[in-house]
Amino acid sequence: MNPQEPAGQADALRIPRYAGPSTFARLPRREDVPRFDIAVVGAPFDSGVTYRPGARFGPAAVRQGSRLLKPYNAALDVLPFASRQVVDAGDIACDPFDIGNALRELEAGLRELTGEGRPAVIIGGDHTVALPALRAAHALHGPLALVHFDAHLDTWDTYFGEPYTHGTVFRRAAEEGLLMRDASAHVGIRGSLYDPRDLVDDARFGFTIVHCAEVDDLGVRGVADRIRARVQDAPAYLSIDIDTLDPAFAPATGTPESGGLSSRELLGILRGLAGLNIVGADVVEVAPAYDHAEITSIAAATVVYELVGMLAKART
């Protein structure tokens, strides 16, 4: 192989896909190559959950669920692992007992990884990990347009007096000035709320909401067009809680809500966002202890693959 060419996946015609490296999509590790363009990195942290724990095991499960991924993404017409050097950067180790310290460790790790403008796709971990990711991206790109796929708003103030949880992360991000006002959107929101004021507070932070029920009327293309009109050419960060999918498609998550997106709808909306100025992304809240037949981890791995493909296509 030409040393100037990207090192891709382990060859599935020589090493069966159930064997070989345990990295995401059986890609090279960061330390195996002299340079990289895009990183996939784990954030095994779940001390910010408010219901089911277990997302700390998400990165390993999503890597296992990625073994069937092939080199060519036909939907995006891109060979992401041949056009750019994509690596698995391992996991960022962080404090499992002190949330504040864990956030600092995650931010430091992400700043080092992305410090030259190289984007990363983070595998969580619970949604709390999005806050250090946004801090690191903001340090490089300034205020961000957030496209947030989730069943829940995640803009609550505190939970049992704790300001940093997976349900408060985007309120903190807005308060810290990490987000552009009137350029961010929640997609897939549904389920019960604590109080009508939750929606009032959310709007005050500059979000618009595409409720999950609206997807039936707008369709996949209509949702993507609405997001594109909102974000325009701003630096965009995509944060995807796997519970945006209906529990039929993603049962293994901490706070499941009925009536969610299908896997096909989520992938279609993401593909409709290709060409946006995406500077980073995460896929979070896979809690594999509640999975069966790897349903959730395969769905999450496919979403990570789409995000890598979008980043690779934008940079070719």
Helix axes 263-271, 295-314, angle to 10 degrees: 10
Residue 181: predicted pLDDT = 87
CA distance 284 to 242: 6
297: which residues sit within 8 A by CB, 6+ positions away? 58, 61, 62, 64, 65, 252, 286, 288, 291
What is the rounded distance in angstroms from the CA atom of residue 122 to the CA atom of residue 40?
A: 6
Q: List C-alpha distances in Å: 177 to 253, 270, 310.
A: 29, 26, 26
In Å, the largest CA–CA distance within the chain is: 60
Helix (H) or strand (E) holding 306: helix 295-314
Sequence letter at residue 58: G
149 phi-psi bin (left φ>0, alpha ψ -120 to 50, beta other)? beta
pLDDT tens, per residue, the chain with 316 residues: 455 689 999 999 999 999 999 999 999 999 999 999 999 999 999 999 999 999 999 999 999 999 999 999 999 999 999 999 999 999 999 999 999 999 999 999 999 999 989 999 999 999 999 999 999 999 999 999 999 999 999 999 999 999 999 999 999 999 999 999 899 999 999 999 999 999 999 999 999 999 999 999 999 999 999 999 999 999 999 999 999 999 999 999 999 999 999 999 999 999 999 999 999 999 999 999 999 999 999 999 999 999 999 999 987 6
Find residue 144's DSSP bridge partners.
179
- The token pair that represents 113 in the structure block: 């990884």
Q: What is the reported pLDDT for 2?
A: 57
Note the pLDDT of residue 170.
Answer: 98
Residue 3: predicted pLDDT? 57
Question: pTM of the predicted model, to two decimals?
Answer: 0.96
For the chain, how many residues are written?
Answer: 316
CA 54/CA 8 separation, integer angstroms = 31
Number of H helices, E strands in the chain: 9, 8
Which residues have C-beta within 8 Å of that of residue 55, sequence separation ≥ 6? 45, 46, 49, 124, 125, 126, 253, 254, 284, 285, 286, 287
Contact 205, 170 (CB under 8 A): yes
Single out the residue of 218, 219, 212 nearest to residue 190, CA to CA.
212
Q: Which domains does the chain have, with CATH numbers?
A: 24-314 (3.40.800.10)
